[in-house]
Amino acid sequence: MGSADNTIVAFENQLRTGIFQEISPQLSDTWFMLDIQPEKQIHPKSGFITTLLDENVYDYEMEMGWFYRYKIFYVYGRNGFWMIQADPFHIKLLRSKNIPARDAGALDETIAKYNTNGNQFTVVNDESGLTREERKAYNRLKEKAQPRIAKLKEQGLYP
């Protein structure tokens, strides 16, 4: 997964979560985020099944721990602000209030799938549910993403 030509970044053991550029006939600037759930690896052709977490990522950053070990992956996208912790694996999402109803339902289904294998997912509805460090990362990524968002707007790819 992490060695594909369209891989922008891959995170965690076995490159579990990654951001990829859309491959289409017109090759747009859209980035999407996929996750591989190890407990669901039964696909007969590729050996793994991916879960779409966000179909329009605006920016991201990784925090590394000791000895270059992945610690946390921050992603700012259309569905919200993602905080993906490496060990133990856990996803926290500050959910965007601007998700279309059709896509919000699909996101709810995805969240439910994660929680069937233990509590792997937490949703917070506003910034008060973030820690001080998470809030700083959120504000930093919102600011850093503005040039990319402006470019996506010009192409009609935002939100």
Question: Looking at residue 87, what is its pLDDT?
Answer: 87
Q: Does the pLDDT value for residue 79 go beyond 70?
A: yes
Torsion (CA) 136, 158, 23, 91 in degrees, nearest 10: 30
- In this predicted model, what pLDDT tens digit does every residue of 53-68 receive, in sequence order? 999 999 999 999 888 7
Q: Which one-letter DSSP state was computed for residue 38?
A: G
For the whole prediction, is pTM greater than 0.85? yes
Residue 120: Cβ within 10 Å count: 18
Angle at 95 between CA 146 and CA 7, to 5 degrees: 60
| DSSP count for the chain of H helices, then E strands | 3, 9
- In this predicted model, what pLDDT tens digit does every residue of 128-151 receive, in sequence order? 999 999 999 999 999 999 999 999
Question: Looking at residue 34, what is its pLDDT?
Answer: 93
Rounded distance between C-alpha atoms, residue 120 and residue 67, angstroms: 25
* Out of 29-38, 43-52, 105-114, least confident range: 43-52
Residue among 128, 115, 126, 110 at smallest CA distance from 89: 115
Confidence class for position 155, pLDDT limits 50, 70, 90: confident
